[in-house]
Chain A
Amino acid sequence: MRNISIYIHIPFCLKRCKYCDFYSIEVKKNEEYFESFINGLEKEINLRLNKMNNFKVKSIYFGGGTPSIIHESFYERIFNKFNNYFDVSNVKEITIEANPETVETSKFSNLKKLGVNRVSLGVQTFEDTSLSNLGRIHNTKKIYESVDILKKFYENINIDLIFGIPNENSENIEKNIFKALNLKPKHISIYNLEYHKDTKLFEDLNIRKIYKWNDIKEKKGYILLRNILIQNGFNHYEISNFSVDGFQSIHNINYWLGGEYLGFGPSAYSFLDNSWYKNGNLFFYLNSLKKNEVPFLKREVLSLNKLNKTLFILNLRLLSGVNLKKYKNLDHFFYEKLNNFIKEGLLIKSDNKIKLSLNGILVGNRIFSDLL
């Protein structure tokens, strides 16, 4: 029996956020694309799940884009399709990402009835100026309203927060985290604002319209948030993720542990049989499906050595660490590097496990790139 997770990419947003580099298209509500997209998605599910046998689905995750802008009737169609291949009611965790602006009572009550049991809410910050500077469509008021609605139907709510926003400081982020805690979510993700090439924010940075937090400020901010969360009963279980006992994200843990997953929808990735597959963008996607072809744009196969290293560093993101027994075929250079990091106090070894120390978390990229 094969344990898999399913990811569905909904590549539409009312407006792109200035910092986002995920694949999405700006659309108005009830855009004509939706219909052809859902048709395509149904076809993709048929094409791909037909070929799979003997599998069990651990989790489903609707990400984007902004999955919450699509009408629940579309979700009903997708769930019906899934039910042809497996029993959705047996799936432990079904998450949908939501923008506070698009949270409506009827929609989320219907989604709950369909089987959705976890909502990841893109709050980002409680400062209205920052929200508009980042190009977010919602405001603080909308955050509170949306949480009120969600709480009626969902116990398992995650709140996404961003820190390191230009013009914010450690006081702002401290206020933010307490405001988030007051909403009593079961899970909080905190992300350091990143400046990706080809985003509006990156441009703003280059023309010095905005300024980045320096590494010292970021470090202090991160530690401050982390300490507050821990003091308030949250477990720090992954570099950016905190949860109340029993509410770790099943879906995301599957990624970090190198589990298999199927990605549906434009530009979604799948990981199966030690290879990554990437779907093409919306136009490629719809075209392929019109011809009854699986919409794979490319497949990436790594050498066994590279694959193991990649999975190893992915696993290292989990603060519980890596079980050394799980990874074989790593060369002696790799172990030498591990030992150096242990000596330097960036990694900690206990029994057969290797994990990041707090200092190691802070400079994770250097460790990962060195180990790769």
Chain B
Amino acid sequence: MNIRNFSIIAHIDHGKSTLCDRFLEKCKLITPLLKEGQALDQMSLERERGITIKSHPVRLIYNNNGTQYILNLIDTPGHVDFSYEVSRSLSACEGVVLLVDATQGVEAQTLSHYYLAKENNLKVIPAINKIDMPNAKIEVVKEEIIKLTGIENISLISAKTGYGVDELLERIVKEIPPPENNIEKPLKALIFDSHYDSYKGVIAHIRIFDGKVEKGMKIMLHSNKKTFEVIEVGIFELDLKEKKDLISGEVGYIAALIRDPKDINVGDTIINSKNPETDALKGFKILKQVVFASIFPNVPEGFESLRKSLDKLYLNDPSFYYEPEDSFSLGPGFRCGFLGSLHLDIVQERLEREYNEDIVITYPSTKYKVILNNDEEIEITNPSKLPEPSKIKEIQEPIANVKIITPSEFIGNVMKLLETRRGKFINMQYLDPQRVVLEYDVPFSKIIYKFFDDLKSITHGFGTYDYSIDRWEKGDLVKVDILVNGKQVDALSFITYSDEAYRKSKEILLKLRKSIPKQLYEVVLQSKIYGKIIARETIAPLRKDVLQKCYGGDVTRKRKLLEKQKEGKKRMKMIGNVEIPQEAFLSIIEIE
């Protein structure tokens, strides 16, 4: 069978989606009329941000001099927070096209994705895109790629005009090896993605390594040993297309009335329940959320609606987690975990835009490992849940290994940025005479907020980064509580370094002071570490607010004005007798 399973790996905006569209077009799966929208990016949010969040495989029929090939193009998510998903998508392939923008050159994610491809022993075909652009630096980029990969045969293409795409397709079928045929072995299939269908349950996107799967078969999920009966198997065209079976080497989907998306984990192995002893494929990890924040409905009545929306959203994005939380200050809501801060942004935006939820989101935190005096270890994802300090032996925090690519003129700026973020220098390497890879170890909590924005601004938009979290380290960390008129606002508690606690809490108090409107009484804002007040701000009481003229013709108008004022109040959260607007909670998120 002439199958080629491959993926395109590229940094954001290097033209991956456009190249996918061109492949689809060449293989007659899409008419050029449709090319405005990039066919594989389904969600509007993805298109707006120019990134692919969910990967959508597609099966193409490619004719090369009379020989027919089946190309399974497995799309990969394109952002730092999704590197595990990328690695699983890659492990479903035999080869990759390494796509680099001729005007940008090798970027941080080009690097990290390339290394993931190497780890998976994939055939790499480098290609330089956008060669038709006036500012293309083909020779420089070529050198960078050769330095990175050692491969000299680099395709030059323009996904936009279609130039070089035919030759690239030819290379794919010639250079990428066909999958091994192990149809006689017991079933072994890799789950590299999933989506939810309200009739068929979770649809798992799979790559068959060994054996085959067909309708009616009893399958088992290796990680949790749950068994299901397959009700449908099929392949991906632009839609799902049912098929009799999927055999070794093929890429497709199965449906087995799996109702709980938690059961299907990316990277897990599907085996035949008759052969429960079958080994799992390598590389499976339970997805780890690293950024945590609480989401509350803006008005308490919104709780049920928010729950429904989260349930729905979760079906299509099982990589975030949520559980009910009852906050003393903000009422009922959900504690949520995300793969990174961009992931948090996406979930927030989808809740607001697709599900019309009016939400309050709290200051994001990472996960901390707390070692108690009795050597018991607990993980803390919500600062307000940190045990009493007297019980704590030490607090450990996750450390990220960060790789940054920047034009060399900005090295100084980047180093300064990383120092302010408590980074430790590890390594520096020239990619070419103009560009440098800087490697730092940085506490993960220090790259959650605004890190990317800051990096972009100090490198005039040229800097890119990627990270992986690889260990825990003891930190000099304390919990800071925020009090409003003596009442602790649990949703505002945060964990930080003891030498940053004062600055950070002062900034938070100032932001709160600005965004909380004057009340009838003085409002005292304080921050506290272990019972000791470290900073204080006050909001003077409102001295005067009274309508002047109010006569016959005005009654209706004035009543409406007062009602508007009252409506505004309803949208505020009451902490004791103080009304705090949603903006107050949002404004502090901007604090690094």
| Candidates A63, A269, A314, A346; contact of B520 at CB < 8 Å | A346
Pairwise interchain contact A310-B546, C-beta atoms closer than 8 A: no
Most chain B Cβ neighbours within 10 Å, of A239, A346, A361, A368: A368
Query: Which A residues lie within 8 Å of B549 (CB)?
Result: 191, 194, 240
Fill in one digit per residue for B508-520: 1 if any A CB lies within 8 Å of its CB, else 0.
0000000000101
Pairwise interchain contact A218-B543, C-beta atoms closer than 8 A: yes
Instruction: Given the known inter-chain contacts A240-B549, A361-B546, A366-B545, please indicate yes or no for A269 contacting B563, CB distance below 8 A.
Output: no
Which residues of A169-222 have CB atoms within 8 Å of chain B's CB atoms?
A: 191-192, 194, 215-216, 218-219, 222
23 A-B pairs (CB sep. < 8 Å): A7-B552, A7-B553, A192-B548, A194-B547, A194-B549, A219-B543, A239-B550, A252-B551, A255-B550, A261-B552, A263-B552, A267-B553, A268-B553, A314-B550, A344-B520, A346-B520, A362-B543, A362-B544, A363-B543, A365-B545, A365-B562, A365-B565, A372-B563
Does residue B569 face the partner (Cβ distance < 8 Å to A)?
yes
Query: Which B residues lie within 8 Å of A278 (CB)?
Result: 556
Pairwise interchain contact A300-B546, C-beta atoms closer than 8 A: no
Query: Which B residues lie within 8 Å of A22 (CB)?
Result: 553
Instruction: Given the known inter-chain contacts A255-B555, A263-B553, A271-B552, please indicate yes or no for A364 contacting B546, CB distance below 8 A.
Output: yes
Total B residues in contact with A, Cβ cutoff 8 Å: 23
Does residue B542 face the partner (Cβ distance < 8 Å to A)?
yes
Fill in one digit per residue for A321-347: 1 if any B CB lies within 8 Å of its CB, else 0.
000000000000000000000001010
Tell me the B residues contacting A by CB distance below 8 Å.
Answer: 518, 520, 540, 542-553, 555-556, 559, 562-563, 565-566, 569
CB distance from A366 to the nearest CB of B (A): 6
Instruction: Given the known inter-chain contacts A215-B518, A372-B562, A372-B566, please indicate yes or no for A366 contacting B552, CB distance below 8 A.
Output: no
Query: Which A residues lie within 8 Å of B546 (CB)?
Result: 192, 239, 361-365
Pairwise interchain contact B555-A310, C-beta atoms closer than 8 A: yes
Extra pairs beyond A194-B548, A271-B552, A363-B520 (17, CB < 8 Å):
A5-B552, A63-B553, A192-B544, A215-B545, A216-B544, A239-B550, A267-B553, A268-B553, A278-B556, A313-B562, A363-B544, A365-B562, A366-B565, A368-B547, A369-B562, A370-B569, A372-B563
Instruction: Given the known inter-chain contacts A344-B520, A370-B566, A372-B559, please indicate yes or no for A363 contacting B545, CB distance below 8 A.
Output: yes
Does residue A317 face the partner (Cβ distance < 8 Å to B)?
yes
Query: Which A residues lie within 8 Å of B565 (CB)?
Result: 365-366, 369
| Candidates A9, A222, A313; contact of B553 at CB < 8 Å | A9
Fill in one digit per residue for A32-58: 1 if any B CB lies within 8 Å of its CB, else 0.
000000000000000000000000000
Does residue A82 face the partner (Cβ distance < 8 Å to B)?
no
| CB-CB nearest in chain A for B567 | A369
| Candidates B542, B548, B551; contact of A366 at CB < 8 Å | B542
Most chain A Cβ neighbours within 10 Å, of B542, B544, B548: B544
Does residue A276 face the partner (Cβ distance < 8 Å to B)?
yes
Instruction: Given the known inter-chain contacts A222-B544, A363-B520, please indicate yes or no for A369 contacting B552, CB distance below 8 A.
Output: no
Pairwise interchain contact B547-A366, C-beta atoms closer than 8 A: no
Query: Which A residues lie within 8 Å of B518 (CB)?
Result: 215
Total A residues in contact with B, Cβ cutoff 8 Å: 43
| Candidates B544, B545, B548, B555; contact of A314 at CB < 8 Å | B555
CB distance from B318 to the nearest CB of A (A): 44
Most chain A Cβ neighbours within 10 Å, of B552, B563, B566, B569: B552
Query: Which B residues lie within 8 Å of A239 (CB)?
Result: 546-548, 550
CB distance from B577 to the nearest CB of A (A): 9
Query: Which B residues lie within 8 Å of A252 (CB)?
Result: 551
| Candidates A192, A271, A310, A363; contact of B559 at CB < 8 Å | A310
Pairwise interchain contact A255-B544, C-beta atoms closer than 8 A: no
Query: Which B residues lie within 8 Å of A344 (CB)?
Result: 520
Most chain B Cβ neighbours within 10 Å, of A218, A267, A300, A369: A369
Query: Which A residues lie within 8 Å of B543 (CB)?
Result: 215-216, 218-219, 362-363
Expressed in whole angstroms, the Cα–Cα distance for A256 and B543 within the complex equals 24
Pairwise interchain contact A369-B548, C-beta atoms closer than 8 A: no
Fill in one digit per residue for A222-265: 1 if any B CB lies within 8 Å of its CB, else 0.
10000000000000000110000000000010011000010100
Pairwise interchain contact B559-A215, C-beta atoms closer than 8 A: no
Pairwise interchain contact A317-B553, C-beta atoms closer than 8 A: no
Expressed in whole angstroms, the Cα–Cα distance for A300 and B550 within the complex equals 18
Expressed in whole angstroms, the Cα–Cα distance for A150 and B171 within the complex equals 101
CB distance from B558 to the nearest CB of A (A): 8
Query: Which A residues lie within 8 Å of B545 (CB)?
Result: 215, 362-366
Query: Which A residues lie within 8 Å of B552 (CB)?
Result: 5, 7, 255, 261, 263, 269, 271
CB distance from B420 to the nearest CB of A (A): 35
| CB-CB nearest in chain A for B562 | A369
Query: Which B residues lie within 8 Å of A368 (CB)?
Result: 547, 562
| CB-CB nearest in chain B for A268 | B553
Expressed in whole angstroms, the Cα–Cα distance for A313 and B549 within the complex equals 14
Query: Which A residues lie within 8 Å of B562 (CB)?
Result: 313, 365, 368-369, 372
Pairwise interchain contact A276-B556, C-beta atoms closer than 8 A: yes
Pairwise interchain contact B520-A366, C-beta atoms closer than 8 A: yes
CB distance from A95 to the nearest CB of B (A): 11
Most chain A Cβ neighbours within 10 Å, of B546, B556, B562, B563: B546
Pairwise interchain contact B548-A269, C-beta atoms closer than 8 A: no
Instruction: Given the known inter-chain contacts A269-B555, A365-B565, please indicate yes or no for A215 contacting B542, CB distance below 8 A.
Output: yes
| CB-CB nearest in chain A for B519 | A366
Expressed in whole angstroms, the Cα–Cα distance for A240 and B544 within the complex equals 13
Q: Closest 10 A-B residue pairs measured CB to CB? A: A364-B546, A219-B543, A369-B565, A219-B544, A191-B548, A369-B562, A215-B543, A369-B566, A218-B544, A269-B553
CB distance from B382 to the nearest CB of A (A): 34
Expressed in whole angstroms, the Cα–Cα distance for A34 and B544 within the complex equals 41
CB distance from B546 to the nearest CB of A (A): 4
Query: Which B residues lie within 8 Å of A255 (CB)?
Result: 550-552, 555
Expressed in whole angstroms, the Cα–Cα distance for A7 and B544 within the complex equals 31
Query: Which A residues lie within 8 Å of B520 (CB)?
Result: 344, 346, 363, 366
Pairwise interchain contact A240-B555, C-beta atoms closer than 8 A: no
Expressed in whole angstroms, the Cα–Cα distance for A7 and B556 within the complex equals 16
| CB-CB nearest in chain B for A361 | B546
Expressed in whole angstroms, the Cα–Cα distance for A240 and B555 within the complex equals 15
CB distance from A154 to the nearest CB of B (A): 21
Query: Which B residues lie within 8 Å of A267 (CB)?
Result: 553
| CB-CB nearest in chain B for A364 | B546
Query: Which B residues lie within 8 Å of A317 (CB)?
Result: 550
Query: Which A residues lie within 8 Å of B566 (CB)?
Result: 369-370, 372
Query: Which B residues lie within 8 Å of A218 (CB)?
Result: 543-544
Expressed in whole angstroms, the Cα–Cα distance for A360 and B518 within the complex equals 15
Expressed in whole angstroms, the Cα–Cα distance for A5 and B553 within the complex equals 13
Expressed in whole angstroms, the Cα–Cα distance for A368 and B564 within the complex equals 12
Query: Which B residues lie within 8 Å of A372 (CB)?
Result: 559, 562-563, 566
